[in-house]
C-alpha cells in the first residue's frame, strides 16, 4: 500500500509540472493577449511584489530567452538551481530506499537569508531610480 501511495505522489507531481511547462510553452505569458492572471498586489497598489514578472520569466526560459527571463524577474531565475536541486532529490527519494535529506533548506540560516533577500528585492525593485529600476519587470 505504501509503495502505491509513494509512486502516486511522484506521478501526480510529475503530471502537474509537465502540464505547467506545456501550458507556459504553448500559451506565451509574455504576449499582451495572454490569459494568465495579473498580479493582484500590482493591480491594487501599482507596486511590484517579489513574484511580479515570474510568469513571463518562466515563459522566457521555456522559449530560450535567458536575458528576457532575467529582465522580468532575476530572483526567480536565481532561485531555479535550488528548485531543480530539490526536484532532483524528490525524484531520487521516490525511487531509492536510502533517503537523501535536504538539511540545507531547513537550516535557520537559510530560511533567514531567503527572507532577507526576498524582502530586500521587494523594496529595491520598487525604487524608481537607476540601478534599482533594473530589478522591476521590463522587456
Peptide bond into 131 cis (omega under 30): yes
Average pLDDT (104-132) is: 95
Q: Confidence band (pLDDT; 50, 70, 90) for 4?
A: low
CA–CA distance, 127 with 111 (Å, rounded to integer): 25
- The predicted pLDDT at position 40 comes to 93
Given a contact cutoff of 8 angstroms between Cβ atoms, the answer to whether 34 and 56 are in contact is no
Q: Confidence band (pLDDT; 50, 70, 90) for 9?
A: confident
Q: What is the mean pLDDT of the chain?
A: 90
Q: pLDDT digit string (tens) for 58-95?
A: 999 999 999 999 999 999 999 999 999 988 888 888 78
CA–CA distance, 37 with 50 (Å, rounded to integer): 16
Average pLDDT (10-17) is: 85
CA angle 82, 86, 87 (to 5 degrees): 115
Average pLDDT (42-64) is: 95
Q: Confidence band (pLDDT; 50, 70, 90) for 19?
A: very high
pTM score: 0.85
CA–CA distance, 83 with 30 (Å, rounded to integer): 22
CA–CA distance, 30 with 14 (Å, rounded to integer): 25
Given a contact cutoff of 8 angstroms between Cβ atoms, the answer to whether 87 and 80 are in contact is no
Average pLDDT (2-17) is: 76
**pLDDT at residue 103 is higher than 90:** no
Amino acid at each position: 500500500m505504501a509503495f502505491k501511495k509513494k509512486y502516486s505522489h511522484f506521478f501526480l507531481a510529475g503530471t502537474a509540472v509537465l502540464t505547467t511547462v506545456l501550458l507556459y510553452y504553448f500559451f506565451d505569458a509574455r504576449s499582451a493577449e495572454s490569459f494568465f492572471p495579473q498580479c493582484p498586489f500590482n493591480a491594487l497598489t501599482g507596486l511590484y511584489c517579489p513574484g511580479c514578472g515570474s510568469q513571463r520569466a518562466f515563459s522566457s526560459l521555456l522559449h530560450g530567452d535567458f536575458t528576457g527571463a532575467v529582465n522580468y524577474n532575476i530572483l526567480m531565475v536565481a532561485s531555479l538551481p535550488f528548485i531543480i536541486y530539490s526536484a532532483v532529490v524528490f525524484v531520487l527519494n521516490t525511487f531509492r530506499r536510502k533517503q537523501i535529506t535536504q538539511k540545507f533548506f531547513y537550516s535557520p540560516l537559510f530560511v533567514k537569508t531567503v527572507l532577507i533577500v526576498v524582502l530586500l528585492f521587494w523594496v529595491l525593485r520598487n525604487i524608481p531610480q537607476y540601478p534599482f529600476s533594473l530589478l522591476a519587470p521590463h522587456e
